[in-house]
Amino acid sequence: MKKTPVKHSPPIEQQITSTLEENYMPYAMSVIISRAIPQIDGFKPSHRKLLYTMYKMGLLTGQRTKSANVVGQTMKLNPHGDAAIYETLVRLTADCDALLTPFVDSKGSFGKQYSRDMAFAASRYTEVKLAPICAELFKYIDRDTVDMVPNYDNTMEEPVLLPTTYPNILVSYNQGIAVGMASTICGFNLGEVCDTTVEYLKNPDCDLKKTLIAPDFSTGAQLIYNDDEIDALYSTGRGSVKLRAKYTFDKKNNCIEVTEIPYSTTIEAIMEKIIDLVKAGKLREVSDVRDETALAGLKIAIDLKRGTDPELLMDKLYKLTPLQDSVSCNFNVLVGSTPILMGVREILEEWTAFRIECIKRRLYFDLTKAREKLHLLLGLEKILLDIDRAIAIVRGTEKDSEVVPNLMKGFDIDEPQAEFIAEIKLRHLNRQYILERTGEIASLKKDIADMEETLKSKTKIKRIIIKEVSDVAKKYRKPRRTMLIMEGAVREYSESQTIEDYPCSVFATREGYFKKITPQSLRVASEQKFKDGDELVFTVQTTNKAHALFFTDRYNVYKARLYDFDDTKASALGDYLPAKLSMEQNENVVFTVITGDDYAGQLLFFDKSGRASKVPLVAYQTKTNRKKLTGAYCEKFTLAGAYHIKEDADFTLYSDGGRMLTVNSSLIPEKTTRASQGVIVMTLKTKKQVTRAVPSSTAKLADPNAYRIRKLPSSGYNPKPADEPYKQMEL
């Protein structure tokens, strides 16, 4: 059977700009506006939908209900899977410890912010209800304080924002990653935020740092306070703060107990890093580390070896592990569908404007209701003097539909007033009831006048905000969890603090073997052992904390501390440097420098082409602990000699053309660039080169001054008979 060929439609060509505009941009805007960036009430849409669902379920005052029930009800507003909704709920609970001021009162296992592996239980096992502070989120929400919009299937309404009576945007830690932007708002202490808001409302130019001291985190720990960093964070909305763990030392068990860790890390990350350092031999002071977290709270136990200083060890752990970490902040807030990076003062300004609008809308709502009630009572007042006439009109009316029109004609009232009078129960058609109701007219008129006056006065509205914020602070204030330590009081760890310093001698061979030997070991046995065909090319007496710089034929320099090398004996071959320093394949050490922390002196490089360069040793000093520097010297050089000098000295150069010269290093200008080509010292004939360059003190010349040059460059001199090679050999 013959198959009919399938005809494919030709591909549709579309400009990339059109694809971005029609397909990508709607997605990007949806993520920014409807998912990742919090709004001025401090919530993302997922949080807001969840909390509003719980509010409508009556969980603000009722008993706890199963989390699964809440998740299912939330799907009416949030068309996502149950797992995503439940994870959102978990983060809002008190048991998770993710928020300073949690919004959900919880019962069950909800995991922990400070643990990566401590998983939360399934939603059918846990129970939740709204925390008392949620009353401040929904206060007067039924009085038209915020806009209500239809949900995704138009079956119910939900609020665009929650009318929070305090700046929740600054209290709740919030993090979100959108398309092309992100937001990370660190939490602040509720009491401090409320105090700052009150001060700001009284004086917009107030000093924020007097009341809003620094960020506060639910996991506690210590914040290293830097005045400039806090200023930058408050003014620009972008910056970071450093946190370090809190610990105690158990002398009895020789154990450090970490009880609070930075918000940005976890127990597992800390323990994994400590274990890795122990395995690498960089943390020899630790014998064991355990996770002892229990119902009492977080605890990481670190057992110490005998004689270890716990304070020095903690300084080391702060530097090498996440026990000290930075929390980055990026106050990106969605305002009117536009993400804006704002400082703290700008956030308070925007929140105040939002809150003023909420109160105005509430007052308008109350004012409208009061006016309607007053209007009805004024109609009731008109029948006060002739109740019997009103009864007669009702009794004398044949049709029900004519009762209201007849009352309107009989007492000169409008339809709503007549409807209100007609609906009064028969038992209430007495003078006492009507007098009590009409007695409210005076107080209603006063309330209406007060509301009208408040609506016209921004100052009075601000007083209402101040009172509400002050009440929140009084009712829900809690002490700070994150304690402050001044940056100047923090002792920075230096690796040399825990390293013993003692005299030693180092030996390097031509084949790349390196030994560090103590004087005591040399006194016992000083005869050096080398590999067959190898020889000693460098030795010096120094100390265990000295720096070692190994220059290679690949124009790299590898840096190390002598305490990185184990003490050995003269009878051992020592460490093989290419393996120890992880050099490239077939890379060899050609020159070694041992120096102190000051990197004093200069390096002289002599090229076989007759050039020489002088570079200060400090050019190889780095602020970070870098192990390898490229471009250690000019890549056009083929070294004839390299030396570390601390003061100017004479050097003698030999060429294979039979000439030689002596030059003082002061004639060679110093260059700050490591890869400098330097200057020509010795001019050479074609195909001739410098064979070696050595310090004049080791050249054993009969008359060193006979070859001295006064200016550069020079072709040098023929050797004197006493200095010819064969003569030196005879000597």
Helix%, strand%, coil% for the chain, nearest 5: 40, 25, 40
Cα–Cα distance for residue pair 556/71, rounded to 1 Å? 61
How far is C-alpha 495 from the chain's CA centre?
25
Kindly report the CA angle at 482 between 222 and 237, in degrees rounded to 5? 95
573, 575, 576, 582 alpha-carbon torsion, rounded to 10°: 170
What is the H or E stretch that residue 17 is in?
helix 16-19
Cβ-contact 243, 260 below 8 angstroms: no
Residue identified by tokens 């945007």 is 169
Long-range Cβ pairs for the range 279-284 (8 Å, 24+)? 282/320, 283/316, 283/317, 283/320
Q: Which of 316, 315, 346 is nearest to 331 (CA)?
A: 346
Question: CA 681, 682, 687, 688 torsion: positive or negative?
Answer: negative
CA of 373: how far to CAs of 361, 369, 382, in Å? 18, 6, 15
Catalytic residue among 24, 27, 125, 152: 125
Q: Using CB atoms within 10 A of its CB, is residue 526 exposed (0-12), middle (13-18) or buried (19+)?
A: exposed
Cβ-contact 508, 548 below 8 angstroms: no
Strand partners, 629: 557
Residue identified by tokens 């200008």 is 669
Cα–Cα distance for residue pair 165/359, rounded to 1 Å? 10
Cα–Cα distance for residue pair 482/499, rounded to 1 Å? 33
Residue 125 annotated to the active site: yes
DSSP state of 92: T
Cα–Cα distance for residue pair 701/34, rounded to 1 Å? 85
What is the H or E stretch that residue 688 is in?
none
Query: 3-class secondary structure for 150-168?
Result: ECCCCCCEEECCCCCCCCH
How far is C-alpha 433 from the chain's CA centre?
67
Instruction: Name every residue whose Cβ is closer than 8 Å to that of residue 56 and which is 6 or more positions away in sequence.
Output: none
Amino acid at 246: K
Cβ-contact 184, 328 below 8 angstroms: yes
Cα–Cα distance for residue pair 636/609, rounded to 1 Å? 9
Cα–Cα distance for residue pair 422/420, rounded to 1 Å? 6
Strand ordering across the sheet containing 104-107: 65-66, 127-130, 104-107
Cα–Cα distance for residue pair 675/603, rounded to 1 Å? 12
CA of 374: how far to CAs of 199, 367, 538, in Å? 38, 10, 104
Instruction: Name every residue whose Cβ is closer than 8 Å to that of residue 288 and which is 6 or more positions away in sequence.
Output: 301, 302, 303
How far is C-alpha 652 from the chain's CA centre?
57
How far is C-alpha 37 from the chain's CA centre?
17
657: helix, coil or strand? Answer: coil
Number of neighbouring beta carbons within 10 Å of residue 248: 12
* Tokens read off for 490: 């923090």
Cα–Cα distance for residue pair 98/115, rounded to 1 Å? 11
Amino acid at 18: S
Q: Catalytic site residues?
A: 125
